Structure 1
Amino acid sequence: MVMRVFGKLAKTVGAPLATLVVERITSYVAENWENWAASLLKEVGAWWNGKNIAVLGATASGKDSFISCLQKEEPHKGHVNTTGVEKVESFRIDYPFPDGENICFNVKEGINVGGEDEDKERYWSKVLEGADLIFYLIDFPKFFKELQALDLEEMAQDGIKLKLALKEQQGEGWRILEDMRFLASQISYFPEGKRPLVSVLLNKYDQLEGFPARYIAHATPEDREEILENIAPSLNLFLSLMQPLMKKELGTFRKQLKTIEPMSCGSLDLFKFFFPNILRKVAGK
């Protein structure tokens, strides 16, 4: 960014003056960064304060683990299948950011249901009642494996072919599109101004080949940037192929799709690595 600024200034006013201007800009940013960062965190916290969330997703997408991590509890190892209806007491999330305001929001009292098709038809609408935001979880390694079985070069050029291929597979990708259609039908019952946003979490990123899960707990800011850079291609592939189809299924409510971000609930350390970025992105900061 600084180099782009320098190049434009140098052409306009000459290199010596451009150097002086860029040095002063850099100095000003460094001097004020702490105040700006604190202000940003306050804005993020203000957006989240008092929000009610709903957590949805297919079977084994990681819903229970996500809720455990929100409550600062280590998730269960292995899949715990939710059968029938389980009552969930309301609880408050108090998520600390370094040197900033705590971000607080509510998980409303409600029900925990499974992700099977019959659970969706019978119970998901109840989970959505009063929600400001829907966290929709996807088993990303499962989807990614199914995606690699397709001719991606051809599919990238033709969304209709991709949709037909996903329908033929009847796997994770087709389920995602069906769930977007279902969410659109439910969002239509909310009055304008009260419609929930949708944040899609590509869960279980730590299970992708080459992800350095064991080093996450001790990752430096530089390590974090490198890890995020390394996982960007798989995220961008999902965005380029699936985001247009998901928005099409949401129809007139496509603007409710707020974010699509990587996530992992395999441990609290992994959760803490990914979740702050999601909080900022959902708040639009």
Structure 2
Amino acid sequence: ILAPSRAEVEAFRRKSSSFAARRDRAETFLTRPAVTKAGTAVRVQVNIADPSDVDSIDVSTCDGVGLMRTEFLFGRTLPDEETQYRAYRKVLEWAEDRPVTIRTVDAGGDKPVPGFTVEEGNPFLGLRGIRLSLARPEVFRVQIRALLRAAIHGNLKVMFPMIAVVDEYQRAAALFAEEKAALAARGVAQRMPPLGIMVEVPSVAIAPEAFAEVAFLSIGSNDLTQYVMAAARDNASVAHLNSIRHPAVLRLIASVAAFGRAQKIPVSLCGDAGGDPAAIPALIEAGLRDLSVVPAQLAMAKAAIADVSI
């Protein structure tokens, strides 16, 4: 608006003042554990995209790292084992005894990597995530070795993105076992971390019982929502369809959470919805008790949790 009316200016000021008040109130929750009105504890972890992100985070304000993306390492060249090992070790040591969940490289889709990804007509439904890693084992094995070595420095968990069928998980886990044995044979210090999967492909959310052998499940709400609603999250013309609060999406999330409780498999959510105050009540009602948010949303998320009656 180039020439707002007096009423429009006043409305903007009221909104700005209201947001500032909510932000200031939220800040009082930053250093507290996240608990609902009814006393239900909710874990709140952080999502990071680069090891340097933790430099500005007080570790005592979060319950760990719910998602560490590794695509930053694959920006221009394929990283060697030592580069990856140092990056993972830095975050693990920062977290102390808190869990750090590192996602194996989720290249493809909207994250092309020169020399690794391929051009496709529909990249979001193509060779991306774990599909690409399994298709390029010489690249994947380097990351696996770095993760196994880094695991001795903290509470590491590893998850695989874009899993659609259990065979993909089993093949990835087998590669971890092979590389662990090879490192041990060479006398290299290493540890096998718990291995879990992202729940972002509807086939997993609809039939999670096929994945009873995984150590944990992490719901990727961004991709799960776009796949369920057939609405690209980077397309403004269909943005109105891309809602985590659609009953179909929430029903799948609740189903996965219930499966996790029944099988004693930890379930978390690491998509954008976890830090959205408007979505948090529905996520907790769906049965989630572990959310991961961008660091800037930590306080707002905890404040929103405190307003939930469950």
TM-score normalised by the chain length of structure 2? 0.33
The structure with more radius of gyration: 1
Structure with greater helix share of residues = 1
